[in-house]
Amino acid sequence: MSRIGKKAVEIPSGVTAAIDGGQLSVKGPKGTLAMPLSDNIKYEVGEGAISVQPANDTREARAFWGMQRTLVQNLITGVTEGFTKVLEITGVGYRANSQGKTLKLQLGYSHDVDFAVPEGIEIKTPDNTTIEISGIDKQKVGQVAAEIRRWRKPEPYKGKGIKYRGEYIFRKEGKKK
């Protein structure tokens, strides 16, 4: 039994949810999101809540149960609050600057890295070493953060690179004479 799957997802006021054509669509103050429905899971939109139950007693249905409930919760959270990831840049001369739909990164290469911001994602740079990525789709926000981080992952000796806020970088000791 899935402990997460048993709990129904509450629909806050101002948010509407509907199932149509094999998709669950959720509309809220920040926008509209939709996700395809799994055949192994039974979804029910009721008064103020969405319940998720396995459609049959197969191993696959029970395995998908909790995950599908979490995906539904992410839709609700996305259209009400949105999601944000914060990246921090560490290193001498490393900086970021947001210019419209482009993020300019200076990461110690011979050239600047221009990152095109995808549709539905907003990137802010409060200072030169902080990047705030926000949007309503949790998967898209995480993917954009991972793509930006991939340009210069944190290294273990000096800790230089792009890391998530709150991420612990395992530090190694250098060579000894």
Question: For the whole model, what pTM was predicted?
Answer: 0.89
Please tell me the predicted confidence (pLDDT) of residue 5: 85
Select from 80, 107, 124 the last residue of a domain.
80
- 73 and 87: one domain? no
Count of structural domains within the chain: 2
Does any domain span residue 176?
no
Q: How far apart are CA 35 and CA 4, in angstroms?
A: 19
Please tell me the predicted confidence (pLDDT) of residue 125: 95
- 48 and 117: one domain? no
Select from 59, 80, 101 the last residue of a domain.
80
Please tell me the predicted confidence (pLDDT) of residue 2: 72
- 8 and 76: one domain? yes
Please tell me the predicted confidence (pLDDT) of residue 88: 96
User: What's the order of all strands across the beta sheet hosting 161-164?
Assistant: 121-124, 130-135, 83-90, 161-164
Residue 128 sits in a domain of what CATH number? 3.90.930.12
Mean pLDDT per 10-residue interval, the chain, length 177 residues? 84 92 92 92 91 91 92 94 96 93 94 94 95 96 96 94 94 88
- 66 and 89: one domain? no
Does any domain span residue 91?
yes
Please tell me the predicted confidence (pLDDT) of residue 1: 65
- Judged by DSSP in three states, 48 sits in coil
Q: Give me the half-sphere count of Cα atoms (radius 13 Å) on the Cβ side of residue 91.
A: 23
- 103 and 74: one domain? no
Q: How far apart are CA 76 and CA 27, in angstroms?
A: 8
